[in-house]
Amino acid sequence: MNDEFEVSESQFQSLFDFKAFLFRALGYWKLYILFIGIGVFIVYQQNIRKQQSYRLSTQISIEEESNPLFTSTTSLTFNWGGVSGKVQTMMTSLGSRSIHEKVVDNLQFYVSYLKQARFRKDDIYKQAPFRIKLIPNTNQILNVPVKIVFIDKNLYELTFNFESNVVKTQNFTTKEKLNLDVPVQELKMEFTLGEPVILPYFNGTIELADKRIANIGDEYFIQFSDFDAVVANYNNRLAIDNPRNSAILNLSMVDVNKGKIVDYLNETVQVLSEDQLNRKNQFVTNTINFIDAQLERVKSQLTLNADSLNNYREQNKIYNLDGESAIVNSKLTNLELEKDNMNRKLAYYASLKTYLETSNSFTDVPAPSISGIDDGNILSNIGKINQLSVQKSKYESTVRKDALIFDDLNRQIEGIKTVLLENISSATNGIKREMQSINSKIVEAESEIRRLPKAQQKLLSIRRQYALSEQTYNVFLAKRGEADIIKSASVSDVLIIDTAKDTGAIPIDLKLSSRYLFAVIGGLLIPLLLAFLLTFFDNKIHSPQVLENQSKIPLLGVVGKSSLESNLIVHLKPKSVVAESFRGIRSSLQYMYSKRDLNSSKTVVLTSSVSGEGKTFCSINIATVFALSGKKTVLVGLDLRKPKIFGDFEVKNDKGAVNYLIGQKSLEEIVQQTNVPNLDVITSGPIPPNPSELLIGEKTDALMAELKETYDFIVLDTPPIGLVADAFELLKYTDATIYVVRQDYTEKGMLNLINDKYDKGEVKNLSFIYNCYDQKGKYGYGYGYGYGYGYGYGHYANGYHEEDGAKKGWLSKLKGMIKVS
């Protein structure tokens, strides 16, 4: 288990080098400065362009207020017809579209008063010295600022800048929208204050606000916004908080203009209170409407009966009844009044029964007491069903139709309706029995009247009809007065604790210091993220330690960067640290030879993965250090495809190893002396069409045999092993094989081929040279070894890449900082 964990951890470390990430991140200090500067600049620009926001609030309490005039002797019992004061209902109402439509309409918040600031048009609301009174049922242009410039104390100029030939308008009376065709141009018109402006797309009167004056030359803007969009905006911005599920509601809003917040919150509470009171008074309002209709009907009947009575008296000269007639008439009148009262009850019950059986809403039922209903069960159940129906009606405008609350309310309403129908049936049967008794008494009274003279009988009949109408009218009139008193005494369940008020509110936006802190953090995160990504996806070798982790092949030595344009660093600067590193490599090679008892000529082959890793540079200087030790040395250029070594020694490449291999020249003819004592060089010569075939021929065996007879050390500069197979053909001649790896250039995957060959034993006596080591390079962290090598700095011209010595500009340096070499 531990072994598996160690393998997994090692693989992870090979994928991501934390030390490399750290030093790469530290090396990006210029990027930190750059991005922090950009972030601070962006924040500064945002700060000077952004209009600060404020938050204000108001606090209300939801109370179950009862009418102080509801007593046990009140004949109109409306108290059970009000809306329940549940907090959740109020919260739902505050989130409804209808409430906000009323508020926006009342405040005309679809009209904005703007003033041009440095970077934006600020909403100045009541700070504007003028107001516009819209002409009802007219169209106003939407989302186009209308410029107003005051020319003098009574004259102003309107400017319309139409950027499109079609503009959208809205009628804020009907809320209908209309597209109008306009010319694409800037239109300017002059008007007098108070003069109606009537245009297809602008209709209203601009007047100065109370006690305000407009300075000549002042510029303002009026902008109309889509009504529905404004309503949705304010609806979304109203925050409702119910602390600890109490009866308290905290309403708050955020806006750039404190005056708008104050007005909107206070108007919202006012509209909520009025709406709640109207719903609470809905039952009594329905009753008053019913009474008014009955009064109108009875009043007409009373007038007709009075006219009939007067006309009959004048025509028959009968003005008074005798004592017996008056007694009989009074008795019959009382009986008919009682019968009329019962008929009114029966009519109410019949109407109520039909209403219950055919209606889905029960909010329009008038008070039963209007018809003289005094049955306690019916009064209570009508109150309950009306209350539930009002509550359901309230929810229908604020809650989804499929909410569970509706199922519960419907079940309660159906249950009460069933009980009510049974109560109505029972009460109706009782009244009908009483009606039979009264009818019998009326028949007896009428029989007594029939014994009177015909003229008096007619007069009695007319007087009874008049008295009946008058009595009914008086009853309804009394009920109407009582209903008005109760309605006027009803109070809202919404109690305002604290109105919204600007008491010196401060901006709620992030403080400048905090925003700059985020800018600094963002400026640091971007280079860190860049460093992480580059490190994670970087597959190049950046230190000798990484090389040792990637391969079992031993590391022979580490060579630093050369400061010379020439590859002859050991010859031209023998005291440099780079020259010392090659002397250390020479000592290591001699130690290897002594362990193997090689006293004859020694052969060294240098190869690499690809071009540009410094193979030729290392070949030249290894050959040089052997020659400077007094050993006769030859450097053979066997990279037949890309000959290179002749340029540094200033010799010609017109003849070389190719000429020998094809039989044109002898060894003495291709060997060229150099300025380095004891060092000869054999260049590759003309580029052949078949380099691989030449290297595997018998002439190569002959060449190596002759060289071993003549020289103490033979250094072979071969092609890259990762590109062609030529180097493998030469390994059979070598006593030591050196594989060159260059810092920040050689990729880890390039070592797979040579590692496989080494593991299989196909390549022996193989070692690495870590080339171009730079302690202050890409990552900046050092690497210590016990070899005693020195490290140089600067650049060197490698065998396959030409270096540009021109000075780099700042853009090139920036690219170089983030480039994965």
Nearest-CA neighbor of 329 among 454, 463, 439, 471? 463
Cα 631 to Cα 713: distance, rounded to the nearest angstrom: 7
Reading the block at residue 81, the tokens are: 């017809």
CA distances to 64, 66, 283, 793 from 419, in Å: 27, 27, 21, 104
Cα-based distances in Å from 68 to 65, 77, 81, 146, 247:
9, 12, 15, 53, 21
Q: Is residue 540 part of a domain?
A: no
Long-range contacts for 672-678 (Cβ within 8 Å, ≥24 apart)?
A: 674/649, 675/571, 675/649, 675/650, 676/568, 676/571, 676/624, 676/627, 676/628, 677/627, 677/628, 678/627, 678/628, 678/630, 678/631, 678/632, 678/633
Rounded mean pLDDT, 425-452: 74
Please identify, among 172, 197, 225, the residue that sits at the C-terminal boundary of a domain: 225
pLDDT of residue 369: 55
Supply the pLDDT for residue 314: 52
SS3 at position 775: coil
Cβ–Cβ under 8 Å, residues 275 and 94: no
Measured CA to CA, the distance from residue 195 to residue 193 in angstroms comes to: 5
Q: What is the pLDDT of residues 304-324, one digit of tens each?
A: 766 665 666 556 555 455 455
Q: Tens of pLDDT along 736-784?
A: 899 999 998 888 888 888 888 888 888 888 899 999 988 765 544 444 3
Residue 302 domain flag: yes
Q: 364: which 2 tokens?
A: 């329009």
pLDDT value at residue 130: 94
- Interior CA angle at 306 toward 304 and 309, to 5°? 110
Residues 6+ apart with CB under 8 A from 196: 135, 203, 204, 205
Asked whether the beta carbons of 337 and 469 are under 8 A apart, the reply is: no
562/635 same-domain check: yes
Query: What number of other Cβ atoms are within 10 A of residue 775's Cβ?
Result: 16
| The one-letter amino acid at 576 | S
- Domain assignment present for 285: no
Query: Looking at residue 683, what DSSP letter applies?
Result: -
- Contact criterion met (CB below 8 Å) for 493 and 249: no
Question: Bigger pLDDT: 402 or 441?
Answer: 441
What's the confidence (pLDDT) of residue 309? 59
Scanning 16-54, the segments in alpha helix (DSSP H) are 18-26, 29-49
| 429-446 mean pLDDT | 77
Mean pLDDT (whole number) for 457-485: 69
Which residues touch 519 (CB under 8 Å, ≥6 apart)? 36, 39, 40, 42, 43
Whether 735 and 602 have beta carbons less than 8 Å apart is answered as: yes
**How crowded is residue 450: how many other Cβ atoms within 10 Å of its Cβ?**
9
pLDDT value, residue 425:
83
Reply yes or no on whether the pLDDT at 46 is more than 50: yes
Same domain for 211 and 133: yes
Assess whether pLDDT exceeds 70 at residue 800.
Answer: no
The pLDDT score that the predictor gives to residue 626 is 93
Backbone phi and psi for residue 581, each to the nearest 5 degrees, phi listed first:
-65, -35
Largest CA distance in the chain: 175
Which DSSP string corresponds to 495-544?
A: EEEE----SS----SPPHHHHHHHHHHHHHHHHHHHHHHHHHH--B--SH
> Could you tell me the two tokens for 9?
């951890």
| Residue at 514 is within a domain | no
Best-predicted range by mean pLDDT (72-81, 486-495, 655-664): 655-664
The per-residue pLDDT for range 202-261, each reduced to its tens digit, is 999 999 998 888 889 889 999 999 999 999 999 999 999 888 777 888 999 998 888 999
- Model confidence at 173, pLDDT cuts 50, 70, 90, reads very high
3-state secondary structure of 722: coil
Q: Do 783 and 676 have their domain in common? A: yes
CA separation for the pair 360, 344 (Å, rounded):
25
142 and 220 both lie in a single domain: yes
- Supply angle C-alpha 313, 317, 318, rounded to 5: 65
The structure tokens 């207020």 sit at: 65
- Per-residue pLDDT, averaged over 64-80, amounts to 44
CA distance 490 to 96: 24
Structure tokens at 359: 């209606």
pLDDT at 68: 44
Reply yes or no on whether the pLDDT at 363 is more than 70. no
**Among candidate residues 489, 520, 542, the one where a domain is terminated:** 489
Q: What percent of the chain has pLDDT over 90?
A: 26
Region 273-289: what's the mean pLDDT? 73
Winning range, highest mean pLDDT, from 38-52, 289-303, 369-383: 38-52
Q: Which tokens hold the place of 546?
A: 């990484």
Mark whether 664 and 807 lie in a shared domain.
yes
Answer yes or no: do 211 and 302 share one domain.
Answer: no
Cα distance between residue 765 and residue 739, in whole Å: 11
Of residues 561 and 341, the one with the higher pLDDT is 561
Give the tens place of pLDDT for each residue, 390-421.
677 666 655 666 667 777 778 888 888 888 88
Pairing between strand 633-637 and 713-717? parallel
The pLDDT of residue 305 is 64
Q: Got the DSSP string for 624-675?
A: HHHHHTT--EEEEE---SS--THHHHT---SSSHHHHHTTSS-HHHH-EE-S
More confident residue, 443 or 524: 524
Q: How far is CA 11 from the centre of its chain?
A: 39
CA 240 to CA 268: how far, in whole Å?
A: 12
Q: Is residue 557 part of a domain?
A: yes
Query: What secondary structure letter does DSSP report for 279?
Result: H
The reported pLDDT for the residue numbered 409 is 79
Q: What percent of the chain has pLDDT over 70?
A: 76
Helices 615-628 and 577-595 pack at an angle, to 10 degrees, of: 70
783 shares a domain with 647: yes
Choosing from 225, 252, 279, the residue where a domain stops is 225
Q: Are residues 449 and 565 in the same domain?
A: no
Q: What integer pLDDT is reported at residue 776 of this predicted model?
A: 61
Identify the pLDDT of residue 761: 85
Three-state SS string over 370-438 comes to HHCCCCHHHHHHHHHHHHHHHHHHHHHCCCCCCCHHHHHHHHHHHHHHHHHHHHHHHHHHHHHHHHHHH
pLDDT band at 143 (very low <50, low <70, confident <90, very high): very high
The better pLDDT of the pair 365, 83 is held by 365
Residue 213 class from Cβ within 10 Å (0-12 exposed, 13-18 middle, 19+ buried)?
A: exposed
469 & 579 share domain: no
Q: Same domain, yes or no, for 478 and 575?
A: no
Q: Where on the phi/psi map is residue 655: left (φ > 0), alpha (ψ -120 to 50), or beta?
A: beta
For the entire predicted model, the pTM comes to: 0.52
**Residue 731 tokens, joined:** 């390994």
* Average predicted confidence (pLDDT) for the chain: 79
Split at pLDDT 50, 70, 90, the class of 63 is confident
Whose structure tokens read 């059970």?
A: 80
Q: How far apart are CA 126 and CA 110, in angstroms?
A: 14
Which strands make up the sheet holding 248-255, listed edge to edge? Answer: 239-241, 248-255, 54-62, 494-498
In this predicted structure, the answer to whether residue 7 has a pLDDT above a threshold of 50 is: no
d(CA 685, CA 798): 20
Query: Pairing between strand 602-608 and 54-62?
Result: unpaired
584 and 680 fall within a common domain:
yes
- Establish if 268 belongs to a structural domain: no
- Band (pLDDT 50/70/90 cuts) for residue 489 is low
476: in domain: yes
Residue 75 has pLDDT above 60, yes or no: no
CB 650 within 8 A of CB 695: no
Is the pLDDT at 638 greater than 80? The verdict is: yes
Distance CA 84, CA 62 (A): 10
User: What CATH code is carried by the domain that includes residue 812?
Assistant: 3.40.50.300
Query: Terminal CA-to-CA distance of the chain, rounded, Å?
Result: 38
Q: Tell me, what's the pLDDT at 449?
A: 58
Summarised one tens digit per residue, pLDDT across range 641-677 is: 888 888 888 888 888 888 998 889 898 999 999 999 9
Long-range interactions of 593-598: CB distance < 8 A, separation 24+: 593/735, 593/736, 596/735, 598/735
Rounded CA gap, 812 and 794, in Å? 18
Which has more pLDDT, 455 or 207? 207
| Cα dihedral sign, 386-390-392-393 | positive
- pLDDT for residue 211: 85
The per-residue pLDDT for 639 is 84
Query: Which residues in 242-313 belong to E strands, given as ranges?
Result: 248-255
Give the model's confidence band at 435: pLDDT under 50 very low, under 70 low, under 90 confident, else very high.
Answer: confident
* Cα dihedral across residues 706, 711, 712, 716: positive or negative: negative
The pLDDT value recorded for residue 84 is 37
* The pLDDT of residue 813: 52
Domain count, the chain: 3
**Tokens 């094989």, residue?**
737
> What confidence category does residue 113 fall into, taking pLDDT thresholds of 50, 70 and 90?
very high
Looking at per-residue pLDDT, the higher value among 3 and 165 belongs to 165
Token digits for 156?
């102003």
In a domain, 500, yes or no: no
Residues 338 and 463 both lie in one domain: yes
Range of the domain at 770: 553-818
**103: confidence class by pLDDT, cuts 50, 70, 90:** very high
